[in-house]
Amino acid sequence: MSAEQQAYESTIVMDGETMGATIRRLAQLIAEANPDIEALVILGILRRGRPLAERIAAQIEKMTGRRPAVGSLATTLYRDDFRAGLRRPKVHGETQFDFSLDDRTVLLVDDVLAAGRTIRAALDEVMDYGRPRRIQLACLVDRGGRELPIQADYLGWQVATAPNEWIAVHMKEIDGEDAVLLERRAPTPLRQEGAGG
């Protein structure tokens, strides 16, 4: 694990304070667009979308006095890359929420928007649970590289990344700190990469 990390360099591109302010701004935009908070439910996409969803809900409660219901969406069972053999099944937890999606505004929350395939899977999963009035998407970072026609309704920060770069969001609840990192594969790998890389 640590040997693998050494092959990358990473730069902090958003510190904890800026991240807090970005989440507050996202919550404000969401609250303004959804005056009827009772009709709003939030589903955080596992793993880091879940704590992000909790924080957005807490901010909305501070602003409006009402807290939208929050649940988790796994999306694992709806991914399209299993069939292509591109990815080993990796389970981060289960889809969990105890409210109906029928006739509600469902806000999907994820930390990073890239290809858009996770969101495609999330849309299919939500549709299997009911018929929402509308589905919206909030993301902390859009790093580009879309492979499907999907856009965020509420976006914290947009950055174009090169093919050898990606964005890692760290959240206190999971990683012990709040930060957004830009990670880059080192230009000359120090060791020969194995087939499993």
Partner 1 sequence: MSESTQIAWNRKDLTGIEPLSRGEIELILDTAPQFVAVSKRQSGIKKVPLLQGRLVVNWFHEPSTRTRTSFELAAKRLSADTLSITASTSSSVKGETLHDTLANIEAMHSDVIVIRHNCAGAPHILAARHASHIVNAGDGRHEHPTQALLDAFTIREHVRKHTSNPEATLDGVKVAIIGDVEHSRVARSDIWCLNKLGARVCLCGPATLLPMDVERMGVEVTHDLREAIHDADVIYALRIQLERQAKALFPSIREYIRLFRIDSDSLQSAPAHALIMHPGPINRDLELATEVADGPRSVILEQVSNGVAIRMAVMHLLVNSGNKSGS
Binding stretches for partner 1 (CB under 8 A): 1, 74, 76-78, 82-83, 85, 88-96, 100, 102, 124, 128-130
In the three-class reduction of DSSP (H, G, I as helix; E, B as strand; rest coil), residue 21 is classed as helix
d(CA 142, CA 91): 24
Least distance (Å) between residue 173 CB and partner 1: 13
Output 129 or 157, the one with its CB closest to partner 1.
129
> Which amino acid, one-letter code, is at 20?
G
Q: Indicate the residue among 9 and 102 with the shorter CB distance to partner 1.
A: 102
DSSP assignments along 116-130, one per residue: SHHHHHHHHHHHHH-
3-class DSSP state of 45:
strand
The residue (of 59 and 170) whose beta carbon lies closer to partner 1 is 170
Instruction: Return d(Cα 164, Cα 86) in angstroms, integer.
Output: 18
- Closest contact distance (angstroms) between CB of 89 and partner 1 is 6
| Nearest distance in Å: CB 8, partner 1 | 16
Contact 19, 178 (CB under 8 A): yes
Q: Give me the least distance between CB of 155 and partner 1, in Å please.
A: 27
Looking at beta carbons only, is 2 or 192 nearer to partner 1? Answer: 2
Q: Are 140 and 23 in contact (CB under 8 A)?
A: yes
